[in-house]
Chain A
Amino acid sequence: MNFLNAITLIGNYLFIPGLTYGCQLALGALGVTLIYAILRYSNFAHGETMAFGTMVTIFATWGLQKLGVSLGPLPTALIAMPVGILMTVVLCLVSDRVVYRYHRKQRSDPVIFLIASIGVMFLYNGLIRFVIGPDDQIFTDGERFIITAREFKTLTGLKEGLAFKTTQGITIVVTAVIVAALFWFLNKTRTGKSMRAYSDNEDLALLSGINPDRVVMVAWILTAALATIAGTLYGLDKSFKPFTYLQILLPIFAAAIVGGIGSPVGAIAGGFVIAFSEVAVTFAYRKFVSYLAPESWQPDGLLQLLSTDYKFAVSFSILVIVLLVRPTGIFRGRSI
């Protein structure tokens, strides 16, 4: 019984949150890795792109709520998301046209692209705060839980509860669908294959008649969609605050690099590695041990490896270890 309680505890506080957070990071890292694979620079504006997409989705959600449209138990944001994606696609394509295209034609150094993306980040950052303000926004509606801790307790008779939030369920399902669709696109369609070819060998892709402008455009569309979905899922699950989207950039980059930057499979693997380590290291194991250990061994401390304030340190440490041991990442992305 104690063993089951311990398992439930881990499931409730470690597995489900880790899985959800991993999905959000994976979607974010996919966007970073796509831009890296096609345009060959680290896009520092990605966090703000996520925030922008979420912001538009929030406005669309509020609009729908006013009209009385709802999805019943599911959050209205799900039907509002296409609007967010569309606006973010427009934003990304305009930014590319106005900023990045010039540097592409100039064949600027990747570092210049990176700095340009910092400029774009500033711009988005101001724009978002200008429109929606720097404060927390709550836009979750519908049923809060798929199963509450109390329901789980009465159902199983265990002392520990297992709560599963609707937003967590949605995050996992949506991520699975999106990832499957993305891989189908990259591996089965002509356009998807041409993107992989362009990422693999730009000159040969040009010799084969692949149109670079089209590849770049599709890359931005995919990135904008991924960013909006990742941002909205994160905002639904936690809450929307522009500043957190700046901070999430570090774990997202860490995920992309740990998995192997430029490799989509790597981005997903990296997302889960970072998310689970972050949750596992900052989890207080006291109760877990108290279920398993004999009475006399009860620990006094929280048995927490690191306080949650240091969650950045976890992504960073994993990043450092990977850079030292295997600079190309788990799935051999591009190095040097």
Chain B
Amino acid sequence: MSFLTGNNMTGGYGAADILHDCTIGVEKGEIAVVVGPNGAGKSTAMKALFGMLDLRQGEVLIGGENITSLTPQDRVTRGMGFVPQTSNVFTTMSVEENLEMGAFIRQDDIRGTMNQVYDLFPILKEKRRQPAGELSGGQRQQVAVGRALMTQPEVLMLDEPTAGVSPIVMDELFDRIIEIARTGIAVLMVEQNAKQALQIADKGYVLVQGANRYTDTGAALLANPDVRKAFLGG
């Protein structure tokens, strides 16, 4: 049993189910990556874990505690951080204000955490007075990740963090994500760039039509000829 687990999740937005008996988990200090073709339900699985979708069956556990019925806001207080794929920063607010808003639920001193985020993403410290909307795509993603880290989460969930950024920025972002995982945070992300993502993954899930197809370590999935042929382009 992993630190965060979604067991046998089944559900969707309306009458039709998108997820079918899908199980996803991530351990502290690990990076788990969910890959799969378009429409496989990757983002839906992520939303289900975060409570943005009602499950018909299955459960979500964090540290062994059942949180299936909690709202997303309550899950934030339970130590989950979520970075949506789009509109994930407050564009009219400065970088620093974005981080402050990330820590809105905290009553204690947040300066330490903010410095940690600045250490992780030095460029943000430089631009902390600038509105986030004026930053480049890669920098915006850094703000988005930094905002989610401000609650000091135990689990960080990222929905396609590298969508729309250049390969160099992508490598840089992945490096940072490895650093985040090393501090003991569980990182779960959905990725389109499957090959690169699996290279840094401790655990990989290949979803097809809302169900688990392959589950293994990142390296093993990369080595698996079936996975390579069907999902990684040879």
A and B touch in the complex (CB under 8 A): yes
Interface residue ranges, A against B (CB under 8 Å): 190, 193-194, 196-197, 200-201, 203-210
Residue B104 at the chain A interface, CB threshold 8 Å: yes
Q: Is the CB of B77 within 8 A of A201?
A: no
A68 to B5, CA, bound (A): 72
From B84, B97, B100, A207 is in contact (CB under 8 Å) with B84
Given known A196-B92, A200-B92, A201-B91, contact A208–B84 (CB-CB < 8 A): no
Residues in chain A near residue B88, CB distance under 8 A: 204
A259 to B100, CA, bound (A): 28
Given known A193-B101, A194-B104, A197-B101, contact A207–B76 (CB-CB < 8 A): yes
Q: Is the CB of B90 within 8 A of A201?
A: yes
Q: Is the CB of A204 within 8 A of B87?
A: yes
From B77, B89, B100, A209 is in contact (CB under 8 Å) with B77
22 chain-A/chain-B pairs, Cβ below 8 angstroms? A190-B104, A193-B93, A193-B100, A194-B101, A194-B104, A196-B93, A196-B97, A197-B90, A197-B93, A197-B104, A200-B93, A201-B87, A203-B84, A204-B88, A204-B89, A205-B90, A205-B101, A206-B73, A208-B147, A209-B77, A209-B104, A210-B101
Q: Is the CB of B90 within 8 A of A204?
A: yes
Q: Is the CB of A210 within 8 A of B104?
A: yes
Chain A residue nearest in CB terms to B88: A204
Q: Is the CB of B93 within 8 A of A209?
A: no
Given known A200-B90, A200-B92, contact A209–B84 (CB-CB < 8 A): no
Given known A193-B97, A203-B84, contact A208–B104 (CB-CB < 8 A): yes
Most buried by B among A193, A196, A201, A208: A208
Interface residues of B in 62-90 (CB under 8 A from A): 72-73, 76-77, 82, 84, 87-90
Chain A residue nearest in CB terms to B71: A206
A196 to B90, CA, bound (A): 9
Residues in chain B near residue A207, CB distance under 8 A: 72-73, 76, 82, 84
